[in-house]
Amino acid sequence: MGLASNLLLVFTAGLLSAVTTGAGAFPFFVIDDVNRRVQVILWGLASGIMVSASTFGLVFEGLAAADGTADHFLIVGGLLAGATLVVVANRLLSGHEFDPREYAEADFRKLVLILGVLTVHSFPEGVAVGVSFAELNLAGGVEFGPFIVPLLAIFMTVAIAIHNIPEGLAISIPLRTVGISNWKIVWWAIFSSLPQPIGAVLAFAFVRVALEFLPAGFGFAAGAMIYLVGSEFIPEAIDIGTELPYGGYRELVVAFVVGVLLMAPLAVFG
């Protein structure tokens, strides 16, 4: 398949994972509120899925692609670079934190700033999807129409899609409290993840052109995702669970372990 077709497939995968963010708003079509225990469970599940997919998928794949000590250093460097980029980007945008309730009333200038903040959170997820497609149309994948899709790409796209649901819920709750209509909430939730397909395409194009940096690409995506889990997803779950018995840690730990186990097959089949 040509480069344009490959890029379109990767963009579609990134877009599909982004669209699932809107599913976080669906509970409000049938209920008025989502209790804290369910929120903690969702964040724990998403965190376990992302740590497991990053480790068993991206890091293991990077090690498999490595050819000698130099490539192992590339993986470690990529891990550190992915985490560092998120840290630096967060600090640069630290003065522009936005409440999701501001989305609906934002003017153009504010929307640009909001997109900058969202890119910090969503772009690395897109990078993870794009890097996972590095071996697209090579032997060992799953036939999908005219494409041969790596099993890692399927796992990673599904993992990001599942992980986006609690993110969508977190965005939807404040919008719901100020009376935004359900379908508008769905749109703003999806809007928050629109950088993902862009990140997917850019990452895929880079690793296909610069194959010698593929181990670093796997490491970068894994480092960014693992750092986001540790610095944002887990703290968010802990904050929500403060009023639950044992601070919600019981639900968080169980959900995290379940999430890890869901992606564990990557260690065997990835």
Q: Are 47 and 228 in contact (CB under 8 A)?
A: no
Whole-angstrom CA distances from 260 to 6, 53, 155, 256, 265 are 30, 8, 13, 6, 10
Instruction: Report how far residue 218's alpha carbon sits from residue 203's, in angstroms, rounded to the nearest whole number.
Output: 10
* Residues 44-55, mean pLDDT to the nearest whole number: 90
Q: What is the mean pLDDT of residues 124-140?
A: 85
Neighbours of 12 (CB within 10 A): 14
List pLDDT tens digits, range 69-93.
Answer: 778 888 999 999 989 988 887 776 6
Which value, in Å, is the radius of gyration of the alpha carbons in the chain? 18
Residue by residue, DSSP assigns 61-80 as: HHHHH--SHHHHHHHHHHHH
Q: Which residues pair with 147 in a beta bridge?
A: 144
- pLDDT surpasses 70 at 270: no
Residues whose CB is less than 8 angstroms from the CB of residue 172 and which lie 6 or more positions away in sequence, other chains included: 24, 25, 28, 100, 185, 189
Beta-strand ranges (E) seen in 62-212 are 142-144, 147-149
pLDDT above 60: residue 111: no
pTM (2 d.p.): 0.81
Q: Would you list the domain boundaries of the chain?
A: 3-25+35-269
